[in-house]
Chains A and B, each alone.
Chain A
Amino acid sequence: EAAVTQSPRNKVAVTGGKVTLSCNQTNNHNNMYWYRQDTGHGLRLIHYSYGAGSTEKGDIPDGYKASRPSQENFSLILELATPSQTSVYFCASGDGRGANTEVFFGKGTRLTVV
């Protein structure tokens, strides 16, 4: 069973503070993603990665950085958190194998910036 684990599951941060959201996958997938989910917007792609050492900007990267130190781990970093970054964040992994393409999601992290 494909597994994507996010930590923490809930986080309250102070405006201007630094926040790191962590994601670990045991699927040996090359691709990993960070999405945020807000009412009325579905899931929007923030950053993604094709493998260890690579990070790519998604559709809404401003205010976020990403780090992929290994195949298994992908972090999302908010250097200066703002209330507009209050959201639910989902990490996902996938293997990009054409017809077998499937993306597996973690359980999400609820971030509140006050």
Chain B
Amino acid sequence: GEQVEQRPPHLSVREGDSAVITCTYTDPNSYYFFWYKQEPGASLQLLMKVFSSTEINEGQGFTVLLNKKDKRLSLNLTAAHPGDSAAYFCAVSEDYGNEKITFGAGTKLTIKP
């Protein structure tokens, strides 16, 4: 089955700096890719979803890059602020209609003042 490896498990950056979290996956049939944010004690909040036809998606203060050739997904926070401190999870699912989503182990991001 699908395996998703997420790095790094912990990341600490200064406010205003960039932060990059990367996931690699194994199943070449994977089609949908997600980034979730989880604040302490809270549930998971969808940040962005990316599909096979999309290589780069930009959100508010972050960019998601998908490289299907290398089976790699990354989240780049361009100018970190204290509100970005949270755990981030990538997730991968297979073809249309299959919502068996496999998650990475997560990255705990800390923003230092």
Q: Please determine whether A31 and B99 come into contact, CB atoms closer than 8 angstroms.
A: yes
Q: Please determine whether B100 and A101 come into contact, CB atoms closer than 8 angstroms.
A: no
Could you tell me which residues of chain B, from 75 to 105, have a CB within 8 Å of some CB in chain A?
Answer: 89, 91, 93, 96-105
Q: Please determine whether B105 and A41 come into contact, CB atoms closer than 8 angstroms.
A: yes
| A42-B105 CB under 8 A given contacts A101-B49, A102-B49 | yes
Residue A74 is within 8 A (CB to CB) of chain B in the complex: no
Q: Please determine whether A45 and B105 come into contact, CB atoms closer than 8 angstroms.
A: no
- C-alpha gap A48/B100 in the complex (Å): 8
A6, closest chain B residue (CB):
B43
Binds B, one of A12-20, A63-71, A77-85, A103-111: A103-111
Residue A90 is within 8 A (CB to CB) of chain B in the complex: yes
Q: Please determine whether A42 and B99 come into contact, CB atoms closer than 8 angstroms.
A: no
Instruction: Please count how many residues in chain A sit with their CB below 8 Å of the partner chain's CB atoms.
Output: 25
Residues of B within 8 A of A42 (CB): 4, 6, 89, 103-106
Q: Please determine whether A96 and B102 come into contact, CB atoms closer than 8 angstroms.
A: no
Q: Please determine whether B101 and A103 come into contact, CB atoms closer than 8 angstroms.
A: yes
Q: Please determine whether A90 and B103 come into contact, CB atoms closer than 8 angstroms.
A: no
Residue A43 is within 8 A (CB to CB) of chain B in the complex: yes
Q: Please determine whether A58 and B100 come into contact, CB atoms closer than 8 angstroms.
A: yes
Residues of A within 8 A of B89 (CB): 42-43
Q: With A42-B6, A102-B49, A106-B43 given, can you name 6 additional A-B contacts, CB distance below 8 Å? A: A31-B99, A44-B103, A101-B49, A102-B46, A105-B43, A107-B42
